[in-house]
Structure 1
Amino acid sequence: MIDPSSINLHQFLTVWHGKSNQRAVIEAEVSSELPPPLLAWHTLAKQWSKPLVRNKKLLTPEEFTTKGGKIVFMTEPGDAIWGFDPESPEVVYEGRIHGDWVRLAEGFTEFLIHNAMNEAAYNAPYTKSCESVQNEHIARIVEPMTEIAFGGWHWPRPGHRIFMSESLIADIGPAMEDEEPWGDKPGFSEVQVGAITPSALHYLSNIPGTDWY
Protein backbone atom coordinates (compact mmCIF):
# COMPACT_ATOMS: atom_id res chain seq x y z
CA MET A 1 0.00 0.00 0.00
CA ILE A 2 0.96 3.63 -0.47
CA ASP A 3 1.29 5.74 2.68
CA PRO A 4 -0.89 8.88 2.25
CA SER A 5 1.79 10.97 3.96
CA SER A 6 4.16 10.17 1.08
CA ILE A 7 1.88 11.89 -1.46
CA ASN A 8 2.84 15.38 -2.58
CA LEU A 9 -0.53 17.10 -2.96
CA HIS A 10 0.66 19.85 -5.31
CA GLN A 11 2.31 17.29 -7.57
CA PHE A 12 -0.81 15.11 -7.54
CA LEU A 13 -3.07 18.03 -8.43
CA THR A 14 -0.73 19.06 -11.24
CA VAL A 15 -0.86 15.59 -12.78
CA TRP A 16 -4.63 15.31 -12.62
CA HIS A 17 -5.73 18.92 -13.13
CA GLY A 18 -2.93 20.44 -15.17
CA LYS A 19 -0.24 22.92 -14.25
CA SER A 20 -1.05 25.55 -11.67
CA ASN A 21 -0.28 29.23 -11.97
CA GLN A 22 2.55 29.15 -9.46
CA ARG A 23 3.66 32.68 -10.38
CA ALA A 24 0.32 34.13 -9.40
CA VAL A 25 0.23 36.13 -6.21
CA ILE A 26 -1.77 33.91 -3.91
CA GLU A 27 -3.64 36.00 -1.41
CA ALA A 28 -5.59 33.72 0.88
CA GLU A 29 -9.05 35.21 1.28
CA VAL A 30 -9.77 32.81 4.08
CA SER A 31 -9.48 33.12 7.79
CA SER A 32 -6.14 32.29 9.35
CA GLU A 33 -8.17 30.76 12.17
CA LEU A 34 -9.02 27.78 9.97
CA PRO A 35 -7.34 24.46 10.75
CA PRO A 36 -3.89 24.77 9.13
CA PRO A 37 -4.41 21.92 6.61
CA LEU A 38 -7.72 23.44 5.45
CA LEU A 39 -6.16 26.89 5.14
CA ALA A 40 -3.28 25.34 3.16
CA TRP A 41 -5.77 23.61 0.85
CA HIS A 42 -7.70 26.81 0.10
CA THR A 43 -4.44 28.64 -0.57
CA LEU A 44 -3.16 25.87 -2.84
CA ALA A 45 -6.44 25.49 -4.72
CA LYS A 46 -6.37 29.19 -5.68
CA GLN A 47 -3.53 28.36 -8.06
CA TRP A 48 -6.01 26.66 -10.40
CA SER A 49 -8.69 28.57 -12.31
CA LYS A 50 -11.13 25.64 -12.18
CA PRO A 51 -12.63 24.12 -9.03
CA LEU A 52 -10.75 21.06 -7.79
CA VAL A 53 -13.72 19.83 -5.75
CA ARG A 54 -16.83 19.41 -7.91
CA ASN A 55 -18.82 16.45 -6.59
CA LYS A 56 -18.94 18.11 -3.18
CA LYS A 57 -18.69 21.72 -2.06
CA LEU A 58 -15.86 23.02 0.09
CA LEU A 59 -17.39 25.98 1.86
CA THR A 60 -15.79 29.36 2.39
CA PRO A 61 -15.70 30.64 5.98
CA GLU A 62 -18.60 32.93 5.11
CA GLU A 63 -20.67 29.85 4.25
CA PHE A 64 -19.79 27.87 7.36
CA THR A 65 -22.63 26.71 9.57
CA THR A 66 -22.57 25.04 12.98
CA LYS A 67 -24.19 21.73 13.89
CA GLY A 68 -23.82 19.98 17.20
CA GLY A 69 -20.81 22.07 18.17
CA LYS A 70 -18.96 21.28 14.91
CA ILE A 71 -18.26 23.74 12.09
CA VAL A 72 -19.47 22.40 8.75
CA PHE A 73 -16.76 22.99 6.12
CA MET A 74 -17.92 20.69 3.29
CA THR A 75 -21.22 19.38 1.95
CA GLU A 76 -22.46 17.21 -0.91
CA PRO A 77 -25.70 17.24 -2.94
CA GLY A 78 -27.29 14.60 -0.69
CA ASP A 79 -27.30 15.13 3.06
CA ALA A 80 -23.68 14.29 3.90
CA ILE A 81 -21.66 16.93 5.72
CA TRP A 82 -18.13 17.19 7.13
CA GLY A 83 -17.06 19.30 10.06
CA PHE A 84 -14.38 20.11 12.61
CA ASP A 85 -14.40 21.01 16.27
CA PRO A 86 -12.88 24.45 16.99
CA GLU A 87 -11.44 22.97 20.19
CA SER A 88 -9.72 20.12 18.31
CA PRO A 89 -9.30 21.43 14.74
CA GLU A 90 -7.04 18.57 13.65
CA VAL A 91 -9.97 16.11 13.86
CA VAL A 92 -12.46 15.61 11.01
CA TYR A 93 -16.06 14.55 11.59
CA GLU A 94 -18.46 13.07 9.08
CA GLY A 95 -22.21 13.30 9.46
CA ARG A 96 -25.63 13.80 7.96
CA ILE A 97 -27.82 16.88 8.09
CA HIS A 98 -30.34 14.96 10.17
CA GLY A 99 -27.92 12.58 11.88
CA ASP A 100 -25.07 12.43 14.37
CA TRP A 101 -21.39 13.15 13.88
CA VAL A 102 -18.83 10.35 13.57
CA ARG A 103 -15.14 10.99 14.16
CA LEU A 104 -12.99 9.81 11.26
CA ALA A 105 -9.75 7.90 11.67
CA GLU A 106 -8.08 10.23 9.17
CA GLY A 107 -6.48 13.47 10.30
CA PHE A 108 -7.22 16.67 8.38
CA THR A 109 -4.24 16.46 6.04
CA GLU A 110 -4.95 12.84 5.13
CA PHE A 111 -8.64 13.62 4.71
CA LEU A 112 -7.94 16.41 2.21
CA ILE A 113 -5.62 14.17 0.19
CA HIS A 114 -8.28 11.45 0.23
CA ASN A 115 -10.89 13.95 -0.91
CA ALA A 116 -8.67 15.20 -3.75
CA MET A 117 -8.19 11.65 -4.99
CA ASN A 118 -11.88 10.80 -4.70
CA GLU A 119 -12.68 13.87 -6.78
CA ALA A 120 -10.00 13.02 -9.35
CA ALA A 121 -11.48 9.57 -9.93
CA TYR A 122 -14.72 11.24 -11.04
CA ASN A 123 -13.35 14.38 -12.69
CA ALA A 124 -10.22 13.11 -14.45
CA PRO A 125 -9.80 13.93 -18.16
CA TYR A 126 -11.12 10.45 -19.02
CA THR A 127 -13.38 8.29 -16.86
CA LYS A 128 -15.22 4.98 -16.81
CA SER A 129 -17.93 3.91 -14.37
CA CYS A 130 -19.72 0.68 -13.62
CA GLU A 131 -22.33 0.49 -10.86
CA SER A 132 -22.23 -3.29 -10.47
CA VAL A 133 -19.04 -5.33 -10.94
CA GLN A 134 -18.71 -8.87 -9.66
CA ASN A 135 -16.15 -8.86 -6.87
CA GLU A 136 -14.21 -11.66 -8.53
CA HIS A 137 -13.19 -9.16 -11.24
CA ILE A 138 -11.99 -6.38 -8.94
CA ALA A 139 -8.44 -7.77 -8.69
CA ARG A 140 -8.12 -7.53 -12.46
CA ILE A 141 -9.40 -3.95 -12.48
CA VAL A 142 -6.94 -2.76 -9.85
CA GLU A 143 -4.01 -4.85 -11.09
CA PRO A 144 -2.22 -1.83 -12.68
CA MET A 145 -2.70 0.20 -9.49
CA THR A 146 -1.69 0.24 -5.82
CA GLU A 147 -4.06 0.88 -2.93
CA ILE A 148 -3.69 4.02 -0.82
CA ALA A 149 -3.74 3.23 2.92
CA PHE A 150 -6.40 5.74 3.89
CA GLY A 151 -8.09 5.46 7.27
CA GLY A 152 -11.47 5.32 5.56
CA TRP A 153 -14.77 7.18 5.32
CA HIS A 154 -18.39 6.17 5.88
CA TRP A 155 -19.55 8.14 2.82
CA PRO A 156 -21.11 7.23 0.48
CA ARG A 157 -21.09 3.91 2.37
CA PRO A 158 -18.37 2.16 4.38
CA GLY A 159 -15.83 0.07 2.52
CA HIS A 160 -14.70 2.40 -0.29
CA ARG A 161 -11.02 2.22 -1.23
CA ILE A 162 -8.74 4.31 -3.48
CA PHE A 163 -6.18 2.81 -5.89
CA MET A 164 -3.79 4.66 -8.17
CA SER A 165 -0.92 4.44 -10.65
CA GLU A 166 0.86 7.08 -12.71
CA SER A 167 -2.05 7.24 -15.16
CA LEU A 168 -5.03 5.69 -13.35
CA ILE A 169 -7.03 6.33 -10.21
CA ALA A 170 -9.98 4.32 -8.95
CA ASP A 171 -12.58 4.62 -6.22
CA ILE A 172 -14.12 1.21 -5.44
CA GLY A 173 -16.79 0.36 -2.89
CA PRO A 174 -19.80 -1.83 -2.24
CA ALA A 175 -22.50 -1.75 -4.93
CA MET A 176 -25.94 -0.61 -3.85
CA GLU A 177 -29.02 -2.80 -3.96
CA ASP A 178 -31.58 -2.00 -6.65
CA GLU A 179 -34.44 -1.68 -4.17
CA GLU A 180 -35.01 -0.22 -0.73
CA PRO A 181 -33.56 -0.22 1.86
CA TRP A 182 -30.61 0.38 -0.53
CA GLY A 183 -28.16 -1.79 1.35
CA ASP A 184 -24.95 -3.30 -0.04
CA LYS A 185 -25.46 -5.64 -2.98
CA PRO A 186 -23.77 -8.91 -1.93
CA GLY A 187 -20.90 -9.96 -4.17
CA PHE A 188 -20.76 -6.74 -6.18
CA SER A 189 -18.87 -3.43 -6.15
CA GLU A 190 -19.30 -0.08 -7.83
CA VAL A 191 -16.23 1.10 -9.67
CA GLN A 192 -15.18 4.59 -10.76
CA VAL A 193 -11.93 4.88 -12.70
CA GLY A 194 -10.22 8.05 -13.90
CA ALA A 195 -7.31 8.28 -16.32
CA ILE A 196 -4.94 10.83 -17.79
CA THR A 197 -5.13 9.26 -21.27
CA PRO A 198 -7.98 7.34 -22.97
CA SER A 199 -5.70 4.43 -23.80
CA ALA A 200 -5.12 3.78 -20.09
CA LEU A 201 -8.77 2.72 -19.81
CA HIS A 202 -8.82 0.30 -22.74
CA TYR A 203 -8.13 -2.76 -20.59
CA LEU A 204 -11.46 -2.30 -18.79
CA SER A 205 -13.38 -3.36 -21.91
CA ASN A 206 -11.90 -6.84 -21.45
CA ILE A 207 -13.38 -7.27 -17.97
CA PRO A 208 -16.28 -9.73 -18.35
CA GLY A 209 -19.77 -8.91 -17.17
CA THR A 210 -19.21 -5.15 -16.98
CA ASP A 211 -21.21 -2.35 -18.55
CA TRP A 212 -19.03 0.76 -18.55
CA TYR A 213 -20.30 4.24 -19.22
Structure 2
Amino acid sequence: MIDPSSIELDQFLTTWYGPPSRKEAVAPEQYRGLPSPLQAWHTLAARWSRPLIRNKKLLAPNEITTKDGKVLFMVDPGDAIWGFDPESPTTVYEGRLYGEWVPLSESFTEFLIHNAMNEATHAAPHTKSCESVKNEHIARIVAPMTEVNFGGWYWPRPGHRIFVGEGLIADIGPAMEDQEPWGDKPGYSEVQIGATTASNLSYLDDIPETDWY
Protein backbone atom coordinates (compact mmCIF):
# COMPACT_ATOMS: atom_id res chain seq x y z
CA MET A 1 0.00 0.00 0.00
CA ILE A 2 0.97 3.63 -0.47
CA ASP A 3 1.48 5.71 2.66
CA PRO A 4 -0.66 8.87 2.34
CA SER A 5 2.13 10.91 3.95
CA SER A 6 4.31 10.15 0.91
CA ILE A 7 1.91 11.99 -1.42
CA GLU A 8 2.93 15.56 -2.25
CA LEU A 9 -0.30 17.44 -2.89
CA ASP A 10 1.21 20.04 -5.23
CA GLN A 11 2.72 17.32 -7.42
CA PHE A 12 -0.49 15.32 -7.35
CA LEU A 13 -2.61 18.31 -8.37
CA THR A 14 -0.20 19.20 -11.16
CA THR A 15 -0.45 15.66 -12.54
CA TRP A 16 -4.24 15.75 -12.65
CA TYR A 17 -5.01 19.43 -13.31
CA GLY A 18 -1.90 20.71 -15.03
CA PRO A 19 0.59 23.28 -13.73
CA PRO A 20 -0.84 26.03 -11.52
CA SER A 21 -1.65 29.26 -13.33
CA ARG A 22 -1.09 31.58 -10.37
CA LYS A 23 1.79 32.27 -8.04
CA GLU A 24 1.51 31.36 -4.39
CA ALA A 25 0.07 34.17 -2.32
CA VAL A 26 -0.36 34.77 1.39
CA ALA A 27 -3.72 33.48 2.58
CA PRO A 28 -6.31 36.23 3.14
CA GLU A 29 -6.89 37.26 6.73
CA GLN A 30 -10.25 35.46 6.94
CA TYR A 31 -8.57 32.08 6.39
CA ARG A 32 -6.11 32.44 9.24
CA GLY A 33 -8.51 31.21 11.91
CA LEU A 34 -8.86 27.83 10.22
CA PRO A 35 -6.79 24.75 11.20
CA SER A 36 -3.35 24.97 9.55
CA PRO A 37 -3.91 22.01 7.14
CA LEU A 38 -7.12 23.64 5.90
CA GLN A 39 -5.36 26.99 5.53
CA ALA A 40 -2.62 25.26 3.53
CA TRP A 41 -5.19 23.62 1.25
CA HIS A 42 -6.93 26.93 0.49
CA THR A 43 -3.56 28.57 -0.24
CA LEU A 44 -2.50 25.73 -2.54
CA ALA A 45 -5.84 25.34 -4.33
CA ALA A 46 -5.96 29.08 -5.06
CA ARG A 47 -3.07 28.61 -7.47
CA TRP A 48 -5.36 26.82 -9.92
CA SER A 49 -8.01 28.78 -11.80
CA ARG A 50 -10.35 25.77 -11.97
CA PRO A 51 -12.16 24.37 -8.92
CA LEU A 52 -10.41 21.33 -7.45
CA ILE A 53 -13.43 20.23 -5.40
CA ARG A 54 -16.66 19.83 -7.37
CA ASN A 55 -18.55 16.81 -5.98
CA LYS A 56 -18.64 18.50 -2.60
CA LYS A 57 -18.42 22.12 -1.51
CA LEU A 58 -15.56 23.38 0.61
CA LEU A 59 -17.04 26.35 2.40
CA ALA A 60 -15.44 29.78 2.22
CA PRO A 61 -14.76 31.40 5.62
CA ASN A 62 -17.86 33.59 5.33
CA GLU A 63 -20.00 30.46 4.73
CA ILE A 64 -18.66 28.42 7.64
CA THR A 65 -21.19 27.72 10.40
CA THR A 66 -21.36 25.59 13.52
CA LYS A 67 -23.55 22.56 14.20
CA ASP A 68 -23.75 20.73 17.50
CA GLY A 69 -20.45 22.16 18.68
CA LYS A 70 -18.49 21.48 15.48
CA VAL A 71 -17.30 23.95 12.85
CA LEU A 72 -18.79 22.84 9.54
CA PHE A 73 -16.29 23.34 6.69
CA MET A 74 -17.48 21.07 3.85
CA VAL A 75 -20.82 19.70 2.56
CA ASP A 76 -22.00 17.47 -0.26
CA PRO A 77 -25.14 17.94 -2.41
CA GLY A 78 -27.00 15.47 -0.21
CA ASP A 79 -26.84 15.64 3.57
CA ALA A 80 -23.23 14.65 4.32
CA ILE A 81 -21.21 17.23 6.24
CA TRP A 82 -17.68 17.53 7.63
CA GLY A 83 -16.48 19.58 10.54
CA PHE A 84 -13.88 20.03 13.26
CA ASP A 85 -13.96 20.74 16.98
CA PRO A 86 -12.83 24.35 17.61
CA GLU A 87 -11.29 23.20 20.91
CA SER A 88 -9.32 20.39 19.21
CA PRO A 89 -9.06 21.21 15.49
CA THR A 90 -6.76 18.32 14.56
CA THR A 91 -9.64 15.83 14.23
CA VAL A 92 -12.08 15.75 11.31
CA TYR A 93 -15.67 14.73 12.04
CA GLU A 94 -18.09 13.35 9.48
CA GLY A 95 -21.83 13.60 9.90
CA ARG A 96 -25.25 14.10 8.39
CA LEU A 97 -27.51 17.11 8.64
CA TYR A 98 -29.89 15.09 10.79
CA GLY A 99 -27.42 12.70 12.41
CA GLU A 100 -24.54 12.54 14.85
CA TRP A 101 -20.94 13.58 14.32
CA VAL A 102 -18.43 10.71 14.05
CA PRO A 103 -14.66 11.31 14.45
CA LEU A 104 -12.50 9.98 11.60
CA SER A 105 -9.22 8.16 12.14
CA GLU A 106 -7.50 10.22 9.44
CA SER A 107 -5.54 13.32 10.41
CA PHE A 108 -6.71 16.61 8.91
CA THR A 109 -3.84 16.52 6.41
CA GLU A 110 -4.59 12.92 5.41
CA PHE A 111 -8.28 13.73 5.06
CA LEU A 112 -7.54 16.59 2.65
CA ILE A 113 -5.26 14.36 0.57
CA HIS A 114 -7.97 11.67 0.53
CA ASN A 115 -10.56 14.22 -0.54
CA ALA A 116 -8.34 15.59 -3.32
CA MET A 117 -7.78 12.09 -4.69
CA ASN A 118 -11.46 11.22 -4.48
CA GLU A 119 -12.33 14.38 -6.40
CA ALA A 120 -9.70 13.61 -9.07
CA THR A 121 -11.39 10.29 -9.90
CA HIS A 122 -14.34 12.34 -11.16
CA ALA A 123 -12.54 15.42 -12.52
CA ALA A 124 -9.68 13.72 -14.40
CA PRO A 125 -9.29 14.51 -18.13
CA HIS A 126 -10.78 11.10 -18.96
CA THR A 127 -13.13 9.06 -16.77
CA LYS A 128 -15.17 5.87 -16.73
CA SER A 129 -17.77 4.74 -14.22
CA CYS A 130 -19.89 1.72 -13.47
CA GLU A 131 -22.31 1.49 -10.58
CA SER A 132 -22.40 -2.31 -10.53
CA VAL A 133 -19.25 -4.33 -11.21
CA LYS A 134 -18.98 -7.96 -10.16
CA ASN A 135 -16.41 -8.23 -7.38
CA GLU A 136 -14.65 -11.03 -9.26
CA HIS A 137 -13.50 -8.40 -11.79
CA ILE A 138 -12.13 -5.86 -9.30
CA ALA A 139 -8.63 -7.40 -9.07
CA ARG A 140 -8.26 -7.05 -12.83
CA ILE A 141 -9.49 -3.46 -12.77
CA VAL A 142 -7.03 -2.36 -10.08
CA ALA A 143 -4.11 -4.43 -11.41
CA PRO A 144 -2.27 -1.35 -12.81
CA MET A 145 -2.73 0.52 -9.54
CA THR A 146 -1.79 0.38 -5.85
CA GLU A 147 -4.14 1.10 -2.96
CA VAL A 148 -3.53 4.18 -0.82
CA ASN A 149 -3.62 3.30 2.87
CA PHE A 150 -6.18 5.84 4.02
CA GLY A 151 -7.80 5.48 7.42
CA GLY A 152 -11.21 5.59 5.79
CA TRP A 153 -14.43 7.55 6.01
CA TYR A 154 -18.15 6.84 5.66
CA TRP A 155 -19.08 8.88 2.56
CA PRO A 156 -20.81 7.93 0.34
CA ARG A 157 -20.92 4.62 2.26
CA PRO A 158 -18.29 2.74 4.29
CA GLY A 159 -15.78 0.59 2.46
CA HIS A 160 -14.61 2.89 -0.34
CA ARG A 161 -10.93 2.68 -1.27
CA ILE A 162 -8.59 4.78 -3.41
CA PHE A 163 -6.13 3.26 -5.89
CA VAL A 164 -3.54 5.12 -7.94
CA GLY A 165 -1.09 4.20 -10.69
CA GLU A 166 0.73 5.77 -13.62
CA GLY A 167 -1.90 8.01 -15.18
CA LEU A 168 -4.73 6.21 -13.38
CA ILE A 169 -6.74 6.82 -10.23
CA ALA A 170 -9.81 4.98 -8.92
CA ASP A 171 -12.37 5.11 -6.15
CA ILE A 172 -13.96 1.70 -5.51
CA GLY A 173 -16.60 0.83 -2.95
CA PRO A 174 -19.69 -1.28 -2.32
CA ALA A 175 -22.44 -1.02 -4.94
CA MET A 176 -25.83 0.15 -3.73
CA GLU A 177 -28.98 -1.96 -3.88
CA ASP A 178 -31.54 -0.96 -6.51
CA GLN A 179 -34.33 -0.49 -3.98
CA GLU A 180 -34.87 0.51 -0.37
CA PRO A 181 -33.36 0.27 2.15
CA TRP A 182 -30.44 1.02 -0.26
CA GLY A 183 -27.96 -1.27 1.45
CA ASP A 184 -24.82 -2.74 -0.10
CA LYS A 185 -25.49 -4.91 -3.15
CA PRO A 186 -23.92 -8.32 -2.34
CA GLY A 187 -21.15 -9.35 -4.72
CA TYR A 188 -20.89 -5.99 -6.51
CA SER A 189 -18.87 -2.78 -6.33
CA GLU A 190 -19.19 0.65 -7.84
CA VAL A 191 -16.14 1.89 -9.71
CA GLN A 192 -15.07 5.41 -10.65
CA ILE A 193 -11.80 5.71 -12.59
CA GLY A 194 -9.93 8.74 -13.88
CA ALA A 195 -7.02 8.82 -16.30
CA THR A 196 -4.64 11.35 -17.81
CA THR A 197 -5.13 9.84 -21.30
CA ALA A 198 -7.97 7.91 -22.94
CA SER A 199 -5.62 5.07 -23.82
CA ASN A 200 -4.97 4.44 -20.12
CA LEU A 201 -8.60 3.36 -19.80
CA SER A 202 -8.71 1.11 -22.86
CA TYR A 203 -8.04 -2.05 -20.83
CA LEU A 204 -11.44 -1.61 -19.16
CA ASP A 205 -13.16 -2.49 -22.45
CA ASP A 206 -12.01 -6.07 -21.91
CA ILE A 207 -13.70 -6.41 -18.51
CA PRO A 208 -16.70 -8.69 -19.11
CA GLU A 209 -20.27 -8.05 -17.96
CA THR A 210 -19.55 -4.39 -17.31
CA ASP A 211 -21.19 -1.34 -18.88
CA TRP A 212 -19.00 1.74 -18.58
CA TYR A 213 -20.21 5.28 -19.00
Give me the TM-score of the superposition, normalised by structure 2. Answer: 0.98
- Alignment coverage as a number of residue pairs: 212
How far did residue 27 of structure 1 move?
3.4
Aligned to 2:55: 55
Matched, 1:16 2:43: no
How far did residue 61 of structure 1 move?
1.1
Matched, 1:43 2:57: no
| Root mean square deviation, CA, Å | 0.8
How far did residue 87 of structure 1 move?
0.7
CA offset digits 1:188-210 (Å, max 9, x no partner): 00000000000000000100110
**Which runs of 5 or more structure 1 residues have no equivalent in the other structure?**
none
How far did residue 31 of structure 1 move?
2.4
* 1:133-172 paired onto structure 2 within 5 Å: 133-172=133-172
CA offset digits 1:113-143 (Å, max 9, x no partner): 0000000001100000000000000000000
Q: Is the 8 A contact 2:84 2:91 kept in 1?
A: yes
**Alignment partner of 1:14: what SS?**
helix
Aligned to 1:96: 96
Aligned to 2:105: 105
**Alignment partner of 2:71: what SS?**
strand
Code of the residue aligned with 1:2 in structure 2: it is I
CA offset digits 1:135-166 (Å, max 9, x no partner): 00000000000000000010100000000012
Matched, 1:116 2:144: no
Q: Is the 8 A contact 2:24 2:44 kept in 1?
A: no
**Alignment partner of 1:106: what SS?**
strand
> In structure 2, how many angstroms separate the alpha carbons of the residues matched to 1:129 and 1:31?
35
**Alignment partner of 1:113: what SS?**
helix
Q: Is the 8 A contact 2:24 2:43 kept in 1?
A: no
**Alignment partner of 1:127: what SS?**
strand
Tell me: CA distance 1:205–1:25, structure 2 relative to 1, closer, same or farther (3 Å).
closer
Q: Is the 8 A contact 2:91 2:103 kept in 1?
A: yes
**Which runs of 5 or more structure 2 residues have no equivalent in the other structure?**
none
**Alignment partner of 1:99: what SS?**
coil
Code of the residue aligned with 2:131 in structure 1: it is E
> In structure 2, how many angstroms separate the alpha carbons of the residues matched to 1:84 and 1:207?
41
CA offset digits 1:57-91 (Å, max 9, x no partner): 00011101111100000000000000000111110
**Alignment partner of 1:2: what SS?**
coil
Segments ≥4 residues shifted beyond 3 Å = none
Q: Is the 8 A contact 2:137 2:207 kept in 1?
A: yes
Aligned to 1:183: 183
Code of the residue aligned with 2:211 in structure 1: it is D
